[in-house]
């Protein structure tokens, strides 16, 4: 199944149409249409246009937005263009993950809704991620702690800020850049987020500054990454020193009269 197949099934049922009657309105057989609705086949452009005109919903939204989450009457009034998400697919309909390189981070803030710009980004394909729209962002400097430089942080597109869950990690794309933070709570005009490092206080991101939000899904570590492992030999020596110190203190205390 895909977002598109889920959407056309939902829209058809909202209009109380059978597969047969809807297929006839599109000028095709029920068997052929059922393959689109079941996700077994992708419609050609001319059929996409007919479906879009029939439901009066843009092709962009049919392909990229789970419209079951929005009232049908409000489809033409969805908030700004953040909902129209350009995607890159191959001839077989596989949904690629575009990667935003470090040097392209600022350019992404201007081109995130431009299909030509998105198509120019390098991309990978991770079939095990399954259903959804994913994008990768490169950790750089202090933008995405605890990830080190060179880590590709992959997130799944969040269609509505109402879907954010407290305590869950997200990649926030704002007018200032890209940052990885834990969502805390919503306010009237802002979101409160926090870093993993408790040394830093939570802070607010203005809703007007938010361009996109992506749910953290997976981190792809750089080639030469070595995980931090404690020095167990050093820890053993420290524990031994502490035991000796405690024994010395106990000996001194025992010599005091009770």
Residue 91 inside a domain? The answer is no
Answer whether residue 148 shows pLDDT above 70: yes
Residue 50 inside a domain? The answer is yes
CATH of the domain at 33: 1.10.260.40
Residues 216 and 244 in one domain: no
Structural domain for 241, as ranges = 229-257
Residues 214 and 237 in one domain: no
Residues 106 and 193 in one domain: yes
- Check residue 19 and give its pLDDT: 93
Residue 36 inside a domain? The answer is yes
Average pLDDT, the chain: 80
234-248 residue pLDDT tens: 667 778 778 888 887
Range of lowest pLDDT (26-30, 59-63, 88-92, 124-128): 88-92
The average pLDDT across 161-169 equals 92
pTM reported for the whole predicted model: 0.57
User: Is the Cα torsion angle 141, 143, 145, 151 positive or negative in sign?
Assistant: negative
- Rounded to whole angstroms, the Cα distance separating 178 from 174 reads 6
Answer whether residue 20 shows pLDDT above 80: yes
Portion of the chain with pLDDT greater than 70, in percent: 81
CATH of the domain at 172: 2.10.109.10
Residue 159 inside a domain? The answer is yes
A 10 A CB-CB count for 122 gives 12
Residues 240 and 191 in one domain: no
Residues 37 and 148 in one domain: no
Under 8 Å between Cβ of 26 and 48 = no
Residues 66 and 112 in one domain: no
Residues 33 and 54 in one domain: yes
Residue 35 inside a domain? The answer is yes
Structure tokens at 26: 């599109």
Residues 117 and 18 in one domain: no
Range of lowest pLDDT (21-25, 61-65, 170-174, 232-236): 232-236
The average pLDDT across 33-52 equals 88
Residues 112 and 148 in one domain: yes
Backbone angles phi, psi at 186, to 5 degrees: -105, 145
Number of domains comprising the chain: 3
Answer whether residue 227 shows pLDDT above 70: no
ω into 146 cis (within 30 of 0):
yes
- Check residue 1 and give its pLDDT: 62
Cα pseudo-dihedral 137, 188, 132, 193, rounded to 10:
40
3-class DSSP state of 172: strand
Residue 88 inside a domain? The answer is no
- Rounded to whole angstroms, the Cα distance separating 242 from 253 reads 16
Under 8 Å between Cβ of 87 and 117 = no
Residues 233 and 209 in one domain: no
- Rounded to whole angstroms, the Cα distance separating 133 from 85 reads 9
The average pLDDT across 154-166 equals 89
Under 8 Å between Cβ of 7 and 15 = no
Residues 175 and 245 in one domain: no
47-101 residue pLDDT tens: 888 888 888 777 777 887 777 776 554 444 444 434 456 666 655 556 788 899 8
């Amino acid at each position: 199944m895909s977002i598109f197949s889920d959407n056309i099934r939902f829209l058809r049922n909202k209009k109380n149409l059978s597969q047969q009657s809807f297929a006839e309105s599109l000028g095709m057989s029920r068997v052929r249409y059922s393959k689109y609705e079941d996700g077994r086949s992708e419609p050609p452009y001319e059929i996409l246009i007919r479906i879009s005109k029939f439901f009066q919903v843009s092709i962009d939204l049919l392909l990229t937005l789970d419209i079951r989450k929005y009232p049908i009457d409000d489809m033409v009034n969805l908030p700004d263009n953040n909902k129209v998400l350009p995607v890159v697919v191959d001839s077989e309909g596989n949904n690629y993950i575009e990667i935003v390189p470090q040097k392209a981070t600022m350019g992404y803030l201007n081109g995130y809704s431009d299909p030509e710009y998105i198509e120019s980004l390098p991309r990978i394909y991770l079939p095990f991620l399954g259903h959804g729209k994913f994008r990768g962002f490169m950790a750089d400097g202090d933008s995405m702690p605890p990830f080190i430089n060179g880590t590709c942080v992959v997130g799944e597109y969040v269609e509505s800020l109402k879907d954010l869950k407290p305590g869950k990690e997200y990649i926030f794309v704002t007018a200032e850049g890209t940052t990885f933070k834990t969502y805390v709570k919503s306010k009237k005009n802002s979101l409160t987020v926090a870093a993993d490092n408790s040394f830093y206080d939570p802070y607010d991101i203005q809703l007007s500054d938010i361009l996109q939000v992506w749910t953290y899904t997976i981190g792809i570590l750089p080639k030469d990454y070595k995980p931090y492992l404690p020095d167990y030999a050093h820890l053993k020596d420290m524990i031994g020193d502490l035991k000796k110190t405690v024994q010395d203190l106990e000996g001194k205390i025992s010599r005091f009269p009770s």
